[in-house]
Amino acid sequence: MKYTLGLVIAAAVLAGCATAPPRDSALEDARAQVQTLSMEPLAQQAAADDLRNARRYLQEGDAALQQHAPPAVVDHDAYLASRSAEAGEARVQEAQAKAQMSAAQTERQDILLHSRAREAEIARSQADAARERAELAQQQAAAAQQQADSARLQADAAREQLAQTQQQLQDLQAKKTNRGMVLTLGDVLFDTGKASLKPGASSILDRVAGFLNDNPMVNVRIEGYTDSTGSADFNQVLSQNRAQSAAAALETHGIAANRITAVGRGPDMPVATNSTAAGRQQNRRVEIVFSDASGQFAQAQPQ
């Protein structure tokens, strides 16, 4: 039994020695290269010829080795297999580069498309902004036009108001002077030496008050004058009191006190001679000076 087992082991060892293939390092290196190439996903597609040639040279090398051919013969096959594998590797790289080229071309198209889309978007935005600016300008122009129209209407109204005011003053028989429009009231308003208004004064002062109510921007300065009869002090006080009486009468008609100034000028600035009765009557007077429509009086002094 022991003898039989020994024979089996010896036969197995001999069989193993008989089937072990001879090896050549150059051929094994080439085989590894071919193996690496065959693992490349693109090898079958891009390097089929090189791979086929490399495998054929490997087979020839194996056969030569098997037949105990000289090492130079085996090495030659290994060299050819190796170079074929390297050529196949280069063709795989070429295919990879071409694939990347193709991807880059697609990417370029994407970039260009994206860029054009963005340019269009920017152009749209700019057009929108320009349109908004144009609309704004149009609105501003319309507003300006409206303001101009409004100003023109106001100017027209002011002109009309001025004309109306002047007409009203003319109706009051006010006269145009370098002090502005002036209404002269004779001494019929007062008794001689008195400052209280006579009943007949009411009518004319009503009309003046009516005018002032119609023209709320117009102010008045009431100037009292006397003739030269009597003392200067008396005349000054009398003229002042008469002016104030007229002012008070206007206030009772609802004219605000701040629109009225009362001044006594005594016998100053006579409008006629004081040597005759008729002249003195003319000098005893009250003058109502009207401001312009903005409340301003002319700068000229009374003559």
Partner 1 sequence: MTELTRAQTLIEAADKDGNAQRYAAADLQRAHDEYADATRADGAGHYNEARDFAQSAEADANLATARGAAGEAKRAANELMQSNASLRAESNRAVENSVGAPPPPAPTPAPN
- Cβ proximity to partner 1, 67 vs 147, nearer residue: 67
SS3 257: helix
Query: Which range in 79-87, 197-205, 215-223, 294-302 contacts partner 1 by CB under 8 A?
Result: 79-87
Backbone angles phi, psi at 20, to 5 degrees: -65, 120
DSSP three-state, residue 190: strand
**Angle ∠(34,35,40) on CA atoms, nearest 5:** 95
By CB under 8 A, residue 28 contacts partner 1: no
d(CA 15, CA 111): 68
Site for partner 1 in 103-142 (CB under 8 A): 103-105, 107-108, 110-112, 114-115, 118-119, 121-122, 125
Residues 283-302 that bind partner 1 (CB under 8 A): none
- Judged by CB under 8 A, does residue 29 bind partner 1? no
Count of residues interacting with partner 1 (CB under 8 A)? 33
Distance between CA atoms of residues 293 and 165, nearest Å: 8
Which of 26, 29, 71, 83 binds partner 1 (CB under 8 A)? It is: 83
| Helix, strand and coil percent figures for the chain, each rounded to 5 | 70, 10, 25
> Quick check: 52 binds partner 1 (CB under 8 A)?
no
Examine residue 38 and tell whether it contacts partner 1 (CB under 8 A). no
Task: Give the distance between the most distant pair of CA atoms in the chain.
Answer: 190
State the residues that interact with partner 1 by CB under 8 A.
50, 76, 79-80, 83-84, 86-88, 90-91, 93-94, 96-98, 100-101, 103-105, 107-108, 110-112, 114-115, 118-119, 121-122, 125
